[in-house]
Structure 1
Amino acid sequence: MPDADFNLSEFLPYLLNQAADRQSMAFSPAYRARYGMLRTEWRVLFHLGQYGEMTAKRICEMAQLHKTKASRAVAALEAKRFLRRREVAEDRRHALLRLTPAGRAAYAHLYDAARAFDMEVQTRLTVEDARVLKRCLIKLAASEDAGGP
């Protein structure tokens, strides 16, 4: 029998998802309108911009992306000439990805847009609330055990 005290709208994973989706959709015009990117493409581009050359597998691990979605994003960014692949000599099954000059320019522009968006989002919270929220989100994102049954 359902618990009368449980309310989906107060279920923390649901709230986290709702907040993340809303903020992600609000930021999406920054990369969608000018560059025709999807969210996964933006995330791949940003990982390469932030951390430099790496494999798609490493991006999947860092960004928690499914390999199929990452592969599509890499192909799309390559078609848009934002990244290049370079085969790893020791293991030809893998390729190192790096941004092209156009990719670095897009990253620089979107970096500024992301910083401005982040600052705008934080203005909706007190300084202390923003600090606590970030600390809690980092803690939740880093937890190995999701606490499932």
Structure 2
Amino acid sequence: MTSANDGTLSLQQFLPYRLSALANRISQSLAVKYSKQYGISVQEWRILAALGEETKLSAVGITNRIAMDKVAVSRAVKRLIEKDLIIKHLDDNDQRSHELSLSAQGVDIYQKLVPIALKHEQQVTANLTKKEKESLLKLLSKLDNAPL
């Protein structure tokens, strides 16, 4: 499936490449929709989304949750703090660690971005049937849980 008889690799048939390229295209096309209006980058949006879902997370928790490089998370967190969209406070259970949460302004931006993201998802999957969407999500979960 991914190689020709001569030992070369066909990127268009190579699953890791296809998934990465598709994810980048979808993320970038979504970013176009919210970055100009709200000044939020893809990395910042992912952090806002994680905190919108979980309420409180450490930087490590965010890194693990959104599968993003810890340096990129750290930089995006710093920008979000500077924009007053997230708050950094000591972890109640571990005084050596910090937790992050959305500020009131962060909650407001998050609530404005969610409908944009959901509409974008609908547009991306518009040519799939309901059954195909369900199958896609199941297949992605299987791939996500595969041993690497």
Which of 24, 27, 32 is 1:24 aligned to? 27
Shift of 1:2: 6.7
In structure 2, the residue matched to 1:140 is 143
Superposed CA deviations along residues 49-91 of structure 1, whole A, max 9, x for unmatched, are 0111121111111111222111111100011110111112554
Instruction: Give the letter aligned to residue 119 of structure 1.
Output: Q
In structure 2, the residue matched to 1:63 is 66
Name the Cα RMSD after superposition. Answer: 2.0
1:85 equivalenced with 2:85 (yes/no)? no
Are the structure 2 counterparts of residues 100 and 7 from structure 1 closer, same or farther at C-alpha, using a change threshold of 3 Å?
A: same
Percent of aligned pairs sharing the same letter: 30
Q: Report if the CA contact (8 A) 1:31-1:42 is conserved.
A: no
Are the structure 2 counterparts of residues 71 and 5 from structure 1 closer, same or farther at C-alpha, using a change threshold of 3 Å?
A: closer
Q: Report if the CA contact (8 A) 2:51-2:101 is conserved.
A: yes
Shift of 1:36: 1.4
User: TM-score w.r.t. structure 2 length?
Assistant: 0.88
Larger mean CA deviation between 74-83 and 55-64 belongs to 55-64
1:9 equivalenced with 2:12 (yes/no)? yes
Instruction: Give the letter aligned to residue 16 of structure 2.
Output: P
In structure 1, the residue matched to 2:103 is 100
SS of residue paired to 2:89: strand
Instruction: Give the letter aligned to residue 115 of structure 2.
Output: D
Partner Cα separation in structure 2 for residue 72 and residue 2 of structure 1: 45
Q: Report if the CA contact (8 A) 2:28-2:42 is conserved.
A: no
In structure 1, the residue matched to 2:42 is 39
Partner Cα separation in structure 2 for residue 134 and residue 67 of structure 1: 26
Are the structure 2 counterparts of residues 2 and 111 from structure 1 closer, same or farther at C-alpha, using a change threshold of 3 Å?
A: same
Partner Cα separation in structure 1 for residue 129 and residue 10 of structure 2: 27
Partner Cα separation in structure 2 for residue 121 and residue 105 of structure 1: 25
User: TM-score w.r.t. structure 1 length?
Assistant: 0.87
Instruction: Give the letter aligned to residue 138 of structure 1.
Output: S
Q: Report if the CA contact (8 A) 2:86-2:101 is conserved.
A: yes
* 5+ residue gaps, structure 1: none
Instruction: Give the letter aligned to residue 60 of structure 1.
Output: T
